[in-house]
Amino acid sequence: MTENILEVRDLVKHYPVTRGIVFRKTIGHVKAVDGVSFELKSGETLGVVGESGCGKSTLARVLMNLERPTAGSVHYKGQDISRLSGGALRRLRRQIQLVMQDPYTSLNPRMTVGDLIGEPFEIHPEVAPKGSRRGKVKELLDLVGLNPEHINRYPHQFSGGQRQRIGIARALALRPEIIVCDEPVSALDVSIQAQVMNLLEKLQAEFGLSYIFIAHDLSVVRHLSERVAVMYLGKIVEIGTEDEIYERPTHPYTQALLSAVPVPDPTLRDNKAIIRLTGDVPSPISPPSGCRFRTRCWKAQDACAEQVPLLEIRSGSDHPSACHFAEKREIVATHEA
């Protein structure tokens, strides 16, 4: 079934910048997410990549209803969930869950693993009757590759990779349909990353989960995602299948990003199409007019400052790209593993 399980339309999240302590005056807005639209199909993984300040973490929070959007909508199976509250919001949470980045701070240090994984059942008592909860927690521990006998241990007695598994077990407890993964492997060692990535894949196959996988590591994202969205300064600049994005990138930023990723193959050292961006990322409080990337783009023309390029399919590109001069360029020489 490839229906859309999640539809995001023109999502906006601005944070006010205030001055003063007692009487606050708003002097500007941090435009963290500034008009983002995409779909998530059932059972697929949508990767969201971008560098710091692009808004992907804010996007995660808004999708999880941890923040109210300033504008726009998020539709889950046809229902607008962006403005829910109370009991309806609580019930929604059973369907969309979160795995966080830092395994060392995302688990309450004073709760046992059993309490941590069992908490979803306490908050949503209708999911599992009281007597069955402990059994379910042990099942979950086993599912993520941990020893169910360790149910009474505390987080600090586990390694980083194991703690991340606990976080995944907790997210899985209510059998959600969508899991938002906010940089789930960035804080882990290289050899542990692979373990957790394989676990996420296995769980997706077993439970038909849909993932929104947010990360800055382009290699990790390619490995796990069917489709990828590239974000820059609060907007999606390019979106497509992983083939399209990695083999036929059309937006200059995507191209620069891909060319900057070092590939673990020394023989490719001198052959790289290296695009070096100049300048710093502009402040999200006052992003450039028109196309936000124009201040660092080698293709920038006057039109770029005047007209905001929309994310749509263009003549130079077989997938949506937000550039007036979108043009295919091969950066990554893909081969079969």
Partner 1 sequence: MSDILVSEQSATGADGSGRPSGRLLEVEDLRVEFRTRDGVAKVINGVTYHVDAGETLAVLGESGSGKSVTAQTIMGILDTPPGFVTGGQVRFHGKDMLKMSAEERRRIRGEGIAMIFQDALSALNPVFTVGFQIAEQFRVRRGMSRADAKKRAIEMLDQVKIPNAKGRYSNYPHQFSGGMRQRAMIAMSLALDPEVLIADEPTTALDVTVQAQIMDLLAELQRERRMGLILITHDLGVVADVADRIAVMYAGRIVEEANVYDLYAKPAHPYTLGLLDSIPRMDEKGQQLRTIKGLPPNLMNIPPGCPFNPRCPMAQPVCREKLPPLLQIGSGRASACHFAEELVNRD
Partner 2 sequence: MSDPSTASIVSTPPSTNPNEVGAPTDAGLPGNARKEKPRGLLGDAWRDLRRKPLFWISAFFILIFVVMAAFPSLFTSGDAVNGTLANSRVGPSGDAWFGYDVQGRDVFARTIYGARASIVVALLSVMGTLLIGGTLGIIAGYRGGWVDALLSRFADIFFGLPFVLGAIVILTTFNGADSSNSEWQIMALVIMSLSVLGWPVVMRLMRSSVLATKEADYIVAARALGAGTGRIILKHLLPNCLAPLLVYGTILVGSFIGAEATLSFLGIGLKTPVVSWGIMISEAQNYIRVSPYLLFFPAAFLVTAVLSFVMLGETVREALDPKLR
Question: SS3 letters for 154-190?
Answer: CHHHCCHHHHHHHHHHHHHCCCCCEEEEECCCCCCCH
- Report the residue from 78, 87, 266, 302 that binds partner 1 according to the rule CB under 8 A: 266
Binds 112, which of partner 1, partner 2, none (CB < 5 to 8 A, cut-off by type)?
Answer: partner 2
Residue closer to partner 2 by CB (options 60, 257) is: 60
Farthest-apart Cα atoms in the chain, separation:
67
Q: With H, G, I as helix, E, B as strand and everything else as coil, classify residue 124.
A: coil
| Residue among 11, 179, 257, 323 that touches partner 1 (CB under 8 A) | 257
Of 198, 135, 136, the closest CA to residue 165 belongs to: 198
Say if CB 237 and CB 225 are below 8 A apart. no
- Contacting range for partner 1; rule: CB under 8 A; set: 1-9, 64-72, 116-124, 256-264: 256-264
Residue with tokens 């908490």: 119
**DSSP state, 12?**
E
**Judged by CB, which is closer to partner 1: 120, or 161?**
161
| C-beta of 130 vs 276, nearer to partner 1 | 276
CA separation (Å) from 103 to 84, 210, 324?
Answer: 29, 22, 41
Residue type, position 5, single letter: I
Q: Which of residues 48-107 bind partner 1 (CB under 8 A)?
A: 51-52
As measured in angstroms, the least distance from the Cβ of 167 to partner 2 is: 7
Integer Cα distance of 102 and 325 in angstroms: 39
Q: Which stretch binds partner 1 (CB under 8 A): 4-12, 83-91, 274-282, 305-313?
A: 274-282
22/337 with CB nearer partner 1: 337
The minimum distance between CB 323 and partner 1, in angstroms, equals 17
**CA 321, CA 313: separation in Å to the nearest integer?**
6
Asked if residue 49 lies in contact with residue 33, where contact means CB atoms within 8 angstroms, the answer is no
Alpha-carbon distance of 139 to 242, in angstroms, equals: 34
Which of partner 2, partner 1, none lies near 106, with the C-beta cut-off 5 to 8 A by kind? partner 2
d(CA 202, CA 335) in angstroms, rounded, equals 24
Q: Return the number of the residue (79 or 105) whose C-beta is nearest partner 2.
A: 105
Q: How many residues does the chain have?
A: 337
Cβ pair 231, 56 in contact under 8 A:
yes
Interacting residues with partner 2 (CB under 8 A):
21-22, 64, 66, 89-90, 93-94, 97-98, 100-102, 104-112, 119-120, 123-124, 150, 152-154, 156-160, 162, 167, 170, 187
Residue 120 or 284 with smaller CB distance to partner 1: 284
Residues numbered 167-206 forming contacts with partner 1, rule: CB under 8 A: 189-191, 193-195, 197-198
- Are the C-beta atoms of residues 94 and 174 closer than 8 Å to each other? yes
Q: Pattern of binders to partner 1 over 206-245, x per CB under 8 A?
A: ----------x-xxx-xx-------------------x--
- Provide the binding-site residues for partner 1, judged by CB under 8 A: 51-52, 159, 161, 189-191, 193-195, 197-198, 216, 218-220, 222-223, 243, 246, 256-258, 260-269, 274, 276-277, 280-281, 332-337
